[in-house]
Amino acid sequence: MIVKEFAAGDSLIQRLDPRVKIVVATLFSVVVAVSTQWVVLVLALALGFCIVQVAGVPMKELIRRLVPVNGLITFLWFFLPFTFEGESLFSIGPLVATREGVYYVARISIKSNAIMVVLITLIASTSIFTLGHAMYELGIPKKITHLFFFTYRYIHVMHHEYLRLVNAMKIRGFRPRTNMHTYKALAYLVGMLFVKSYERAERVYNAMLCRGFRGRLYSLSQFSMKTIDIIFLILMLAVILGLVVLEWTRIA
C-alpha cells in the first residue's frame, strides 16, 4: 500500500493524547514558521531532534520522510544565493552569490526541517482515524472530519483499483511513452478509476445506511487527559513560549 502511518512502537510520545499532539505540533509549526532569528531556529531544530529521541523514531524512517520535504529547498539553494542583494561571497561566472542570500536559504532549510521533524514525530506517528476524532474534538467542523475519514478510506480503494488497472494494462503489453496513445490510455485509466471507485463508494455508503448510519461516526478509543499529557503539554507550551520570547527580544 502507498499509505502507512508508522504506528511504530509504544513510546512515551506515541501514548500521548492525540489532541495534545495536534495542539503542540500546530503551535510549534506556527511559531517556527514566523521566526527569523538563528538562535530560535537552531533551538527549534534541536528540540525537534530531542522529541525524535524520546519518540524513538528510527533514523532511517525519519530521513526517508524528510527527503521530499527538501526537494523544494534544494531547488531554492540553486537560486536564492544569487538573487539576493548584498555582500558578495563567491562567484560562478557572472553569477555572484551573496552572504545574505546564503544565510536566507540556510534559515529556510533549518526552519523547514525543524517543523517537519516535529510534524513527523508527533502527527505522522498517530493513526489517521485517531487524528480525525481528535480534530473533531478540537472543534474542526463535522463535515470536514467526515470528508477526511471518507477520503482516507477511498484513497485505499482507489489505489487498489489503480494498481489492478495498471496490472491489466501491463499484461496487455502497455508501455508508457511520449505519444498520444499513452496519453489517451492514461486518461481512460483515470476515467475508469473514477467510475469504479464511484460504484464502490456507492455500495459502501448504502451498506452504511443499511446499518443505521445517521451522520455520526463513533470512536472506539476514548481520549482522556492523563497526568503525563498535562506535563507534556505544559512543558512544550513553556518551551514554545520561550522561543517566542527569544525571537521577540532579539528583534527589539
Partner 1 sequence: MHISEGVLSPGVLIAGAGLTAAGVAVGLRRLENEEIPSVGILSAAFFVASLVHVPVGPSSVHLILNGLLGLILGWKAFPAILVGLALQALLFQFGGITTLGVNTLNMALPAVVCHYLFSWGVGIGARRLVFILSAFAGGCCAVFLSSMLVGFSLYLTGEAFLPVAKVVVAAHLPVMVIEGGLTAVCALFLRQVKPELLEGAYVPKLSSQPQNGSG
By CB under 8 A, what part of segment 189-248 binds partner 1?
189-195, 197-199, 201-206, 209, 215
Q: How far apart are CA 26 and CA 32, in angstroms?
A: 10
Residues 97-126 that bind partner 1 (CB under 8 A): 101, 104, 108-116, 119-120, 123-124
Residues 155-194 that bind partner 1 (CB under 8 A): 155, 157-159, 162, 176-178, 182-184, 186-194
Residues 66-95 that bind partner 1 (CB under 8 A): 66, 68-73, 75-76, 79-80, 83-85
Q: How far apart are CA 252 and CA 239, in angstroms?
A: 20
Q: Of 65, 103, 239, 246, which lies in the binding site for partner 1, with binding defined by CB under 8 A?
A: 65
Q: Of 103, 150, 174, 223, which lies in the binding site for partner 1, with binding defined by CB under 8 A?
A: 150
Helices 142-171 and 180-210: crossing angle, nearest 10°? 130
Beta-carbon count within 10 A of 24 CB: 22
Q: How many residues bind partner 1 (CB under 8 A)?
A: 87
Beta-carbon count within 10 A of 155 CB: 15
Q: Of 3, 92, 171, 220, which lies in the binding site for partner 1, with binding defined by CB under 8 A?
A: 3
- State the minimum distance, in angstroms, from the CB of residue 173 to partner 1: 16
| Residue 17 vs 247, nearer CB to partner 1 | 247
Upper half-sphere CA count for residue 205 (Cβ side, 13 Å): 13
DSSP 94: T
Burial of 17 by CB count in 10 Å (0-12 exposed, 13-18 middle, 19+ buried)? buried
Q: Of 23, 89, 128, 239, which lies in the binding site for partner 1, with binding defined by CB under 8 A?
A: 128
